[in-house]
């Protein structure tokens, strides 16, 4: 009689199970990861959904960072925003400043051992005005990609400081190739690395600091290289051409995020790829890149908890290691490092970005910084493509940035 009773109970419980499955809280998640990283995020969501019955995470690729930001701003006007959003580091302060991001302190109850296991620069960036609004996911640092074969042929080594960099760029220049390809990205992150690595900062005392000694030195160096025929300046809209120039040996060095490496592997390199830290002066720093996960206001209590549970799943050390291997981003947990030994041993260049964490610093967390950085990027283009002298271009960008309210 036990078997019929068990079957009968099974049929009685089935509708309850189905009802519970049907009441799962949906957590929409907009992100900007394509390629291997985007596919892995979808896999993570599937795994998370399968291992518990309370929440259903629905990831959606919203375009690159700029496209995703435009889409989000439009959705906020209509109340159709997602629960969870991957906010690029320079856009994150704006979301907080405009009151769109939810403070998470009341929802997080993280053990001390977990917090100690996180790398501080990535974790600290999520705090503004004493409250936590962001959670780390993808953290990167800029690196110098270079043509290792040509370096060896010319007896050159990766430059360690900016004087060496300028000398190497000129030594690599020929009729067929430029020594360095510089991309003026809209948030001026790569130029910021040239400033912070000299000991400067783009923001000082809460105000733009574009006309600083370090910023002027950085732009004057690019100006000299450009006039010497050793520089190829590309805008972000021309980034594909910059990649092709490098792959086709029309440029010997290019600075980019370590996370650009997987995409670069889609190209057929005719040379051995070298990767080096950003040249740096004593005491200089390297700005972090990447994004923070933000829970947007308007989410229900259950959606907030679902988003945080999903983030905790992403932060499990084996998942952090899988994420690094798919994306080449920097691991945000120390306990994931032993799991990556084989990955780094296979190609030691992969560890360059991680090793820069020792002297990484957060980007400015000012609500207006994103708008200021656009003006700085325009100034770089005016100098490198329009022949406007560096000091004049930087002072103009400074005045425009100060006028933003």
Per-residue pLDDT 10s for the chain (405 aa) are 444 444 444 444 443 443 344 689 999 999 999 999 999 999 999 999 999 999 999 999 999 999 999 999 999 999 999 999 999 999 999 999 999 999 999 999 999 999 999 998 889 999 999 999 999 999 999 999 999 999 999 999 999 999 999 999 999 999 999 999 999 988 899 999 999 999 999 999 999 999 999 999 999 999 999 999 999 999 878 888 888 899 999 999 999 999 988 877 777 788 999 999 999 999 999 999 999 999 999 999 999 999 999 999 999 999 999 999 999 999 999 999 999 999 999 999 999 998 998 899 989 989 999 999 999 999 999 999 998 999 999 999 999 999 997
- 386, HSE (Cβ side, Cα atoms, 13 Å): 13
DSSP E strand stretches across 236-295: 253-257, 273-276, 286-287, 289-295
Fill in the DSSP letter of residue 292. Answer: E
Q: Which of 75, 70, 84, 74 has the alpha carbon at shortest distance from 31?
A: 84
Which fold would CATH assign to domain 142-287+368-403? D-Maltodextrin-Binding Protein; domain 2 (3.40.190)
C-alpha separations of 371 from 51, 93, 204, 318 in Å: 42, 11, 16, 37
Q: How many angstroms separate the CA atoms of 91 and 296, rounded?
A: 14
Phi, psi angles (nearest 5°) of residue 366:
-120, 135
- 3-class secondary structure per residue, 176-212: CCECEEEEECCCCHHHHHHHHCCCCCCEECCEECCCC
Residue among 63, 3, 75 nearest 33 (CA): 63
DSSP conformation class of 357: G
19-139+289-361 against 142-287+368-403: fold identical: yes
CA distances from 240 to 160, 213, 236, 267, 269 (A): 27, 32, 8, 11, 15
Token pair for residue 242?
Answer: 């910059």
Best CA proximity match to 254, nearest among 239, 272, 271: 239
- pLDDT at position 22 is 61
- Token pair for 221: 């160096």
CATH architecture of the domain covering 19-139+289-361: 3-Layer(aba) Sandwich (3.40)
Residue 134 DSSP symbol: E
Q: Could you tell me which residues come within 8 angstroms of residue 20 by beta carbon, excluding any fewer than 6 positions away?
A: 53
Q: Where are the domains of the chain?
A: 19-139+289-361, 142-287+368-403
Region at 356 (left for phi over 0; alpha for psi -120 to 50; beta for the rest) = alpha
Nearest Cα to Cα of residue 126 among 395, 365, 378: 365
Return d(Cα 59, Cα 136) in angstroms, integer. 17
């Amino acid at each position: 009689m036990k078997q019929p009773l068990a079957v009968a109970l099974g049929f009685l419980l089935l509708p309850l199970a189905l009802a519970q499955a049907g009441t799962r809280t949906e957590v929409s998640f907009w992100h900007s990861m394509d390629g291997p990283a985007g596919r892995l995020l979808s896999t993570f969501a599937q795994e998370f959904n399968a291992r518990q019955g309370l929440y259903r995470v629905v990831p959606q690729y919203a375009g690159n960072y700029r496209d995703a930001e435009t889409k989000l701003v439009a959705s906020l006007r209509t109340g159709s925003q997602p629960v969870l959003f991957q906010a690029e580091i320079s856009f994150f302060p704006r979301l907080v400043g405009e009151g769109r991001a939810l403070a998470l302190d009341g929802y997080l109850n993280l053990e001390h051992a977990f917090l100690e296991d996180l790398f501080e620069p990535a974790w600290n960036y999520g705090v503004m005005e004493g409250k936590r609004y962001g959670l780390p996911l993808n953290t990167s640092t800029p690196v110098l990609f270079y043509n290792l074969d040509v370096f060896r042929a010319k007896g050159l080594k990766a430059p360690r400081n900016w004087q060496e960099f300028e000398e190497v760029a000129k030594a690599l220049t020929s009729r067929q190739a430029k020594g360095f390809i510089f991309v003026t990205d809209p948030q001026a992150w790569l130029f910021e690395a040239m400033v912070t690595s000299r000991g400067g900062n783009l923001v000082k005392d809460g105000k733009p600091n574009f006309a600083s000694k370090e910023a002027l030195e950085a732009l004057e160096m690019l100006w000299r290289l450009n006039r010497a025929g050793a520089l190829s300046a590309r805008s972000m809209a021309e980034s594909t051409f910059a990649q092709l120039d490098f792959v086709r040996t029309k440029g010997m060095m290019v600075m980019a995020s370590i996370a650009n490496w997987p995409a670069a592997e889609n190209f057929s390199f005719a040379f051995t790829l070298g990767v080096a830290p950003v040249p740096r002066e004593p005491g200089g720093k390297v700005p972090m890149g990447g994004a923070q996960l933000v829970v947007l206001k308007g989410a229900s209590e259950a959606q907030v908890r679902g988003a945080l549970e999903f983030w905790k799943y992403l932060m499990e050390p084996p998942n952090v290691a899988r994420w690094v291997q798919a994306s080449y981003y920097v691991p945000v947990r120390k306990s994931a490092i032993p799991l990556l030994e084989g990955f780094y041993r296979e190609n030691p260049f992969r560890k360059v970005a991680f090793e820069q964490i020792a002297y990484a610093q957060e980007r400015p967390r000012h609500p207006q910084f994103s708008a200021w950085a656009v003006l700085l990027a325009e100034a770089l283009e005016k100098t490198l493509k329009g022949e406007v002298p560096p000091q004049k271009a930087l002072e103009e960008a400074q005045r425009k940035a100060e006028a933003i309210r």
